[in-house]
Amino acid sequence: MIQQYFKTGKTIVIDDQYEEAKPLLDALTRLHIPFIYSQGKPNSKFPLPDRKNPFHYNLVFMDLNLDFKFTGGLSTEGNQKTFKGLHSQILNNLLKNDNRSFILIIWSNEEEEYRDHYLNIFEDEEKYRTDKRPYKIISLSKPDFFQEQEDGTFKFLEEKETELKEKINKELSKLEAFNLLCEWDKVVSQSAGDAIDDIMGLVNKIPDENQREEHLAKILTAMSIAYSGDKGYLNFNSNQERTDSVLLTLTQLLNDDIDRNVLNQRQQEFTGWKAKDTSEINQIRSDINPSLLNNKLLIFQPNKSDLTGSVYKSKYVNVEFKDIFTDSINKDKACKQFLTRYKKWYKIKNLDQAMTNIIRESYCDKYIYNRSTPIEINLSPLCDIVQDKIVYHRIVSGYIMPASFYNSTKSDLAYFVKSPVFNYDGNDVFIGLDLRHLVSCTKTDIEQKDYLFTLRTNLVNDIQTKLASHVSRLGVLNL
């Protein structure tokens, strides 16, 4: 089972004593699980990986006594702080800043004494606390698998290897949902290999090594030209821009291979589905907080602010935004919803009488309007941006509005697009866009805009499709 979880080479073993780690490394080798070994010290023979380029590990084996000088136990407060600081520093340096998907296997000759102190680094409010909380912690005791020799070293008991594997597999068998993500990781890794093999298949029959490399360089050049066009390729100012075109072409091949392999390969099936009828589906939505999940599904923040789907805060609240707001809000519905919620507060008996024009306009203009943020979204085709063919960016205007007003917007407007509710900056919100307000702006204008975040591809595609339908919609002939 352990092979099913960790096939993609994201395993690291941290143990300051190589001889004690070697049996584990041998076992991983026999199981065909790629790994990295480190002694956990920056100046050791096997140092930690470069902290400037942290990797995303799925499985971490960690000894609990990594400091060569640390031999006095944890009886004193000073030793406890040293222990916490050492291990939290290793995890913080080792893992990606947002790495939450790793299984941690802790083992030590002093496992019973050290374990609770180690687990405290995930809860401690002091400076030693680490945000690298593992998905699961499996605790093992080295003395169960090693025998101390006369010279003070420890020898691994070969007959215990099966027991070690079974203990780990028993704990992993409880993680079926996590295993599904590992299966997808495996499919992506395999698909990346397939995409590369498709390209390499064009050169592998060339007998001479130098000619293969020369021909491969020509193929990569042709791929860059295919993506960027002849003029676009020749107008690129740097090799990095040409390289980006090749990588984006490969990414398109990869996406196709992932789709094919997900459907054609037989991954291990997931059986822990939590919904069987409508009521259970509604319960799941209540349990998981859909707006937090939509935050991952709909938006992200890359390190570039001029990409397709980039959302900018409008610097000026102009007449255009007021028109979009007025045209898209159902003021009667919004006001009635508000008064219904607070009718006891206002001592309202007849809602229709209370919904005077003054109250309705005042509530919408002062309450909803002031809580909405005018925005613009860049809907320029990504290929045009990458190929440097952009003369003017295509911008559509709208707003970000609190989710409590979601049902107050009109639902029958062909020119109005409304996103699902998502969580942004700690608040549940949604985006409303008026497709009639499509304008162009220069690259200089884009660079000066107040960037917020970027929409993911699926949402951008949906908006672009509706925008295309709106722009090209035929008129109705009538007498």
Q: Would you list the DSSP string of 9-64?
A: S-EEEE-S-HHHHHHHHHHHHHTT---EEE-S-TTSSSPPPPTTS-B--SEEEEES
DSSP lists the bridge partners of residue 106 as 62, 139
- Residue 124's nearest CA partner among 176, 70, 87, 76 is 87
Question: What pLDDT does 68 receive?
Answer: 46
Name the pTM for this structure. Answer: 0.74
pLDDT in tens, 403-442: 988 988 987 888 899 999 999 999 999 999 999 888 888 8
Sketch out the chain's domains with CATH numbers. Answer: 1-174 (3.40.50), 187-274 (no CATH), 282-472 (no CATH)
Q: Measure Cα distances from 22 to 10, 17, 30, 155, 307 in Å.
A: 18, 9, 12, 10, 48
pLDDT in tens, 374-394: 999 999 887 777 666 777 888
- Look up residue 392 and give its two tokens: 């003017």
Question: What pLDDT does 222 receive?
Answer: 93
pLDDT in tens, 94-106: 776 556 678 888 8
d(CA 221, CA 235): 14
**Least confident stretch, 170-179, 325-334, 360-369, 463-472:** 360-369
Residues 6+ apart with CB under 8 A from 246: 220, 223, 224, 227
Whether the predicted pLDDT of 346 surpasses 60: no
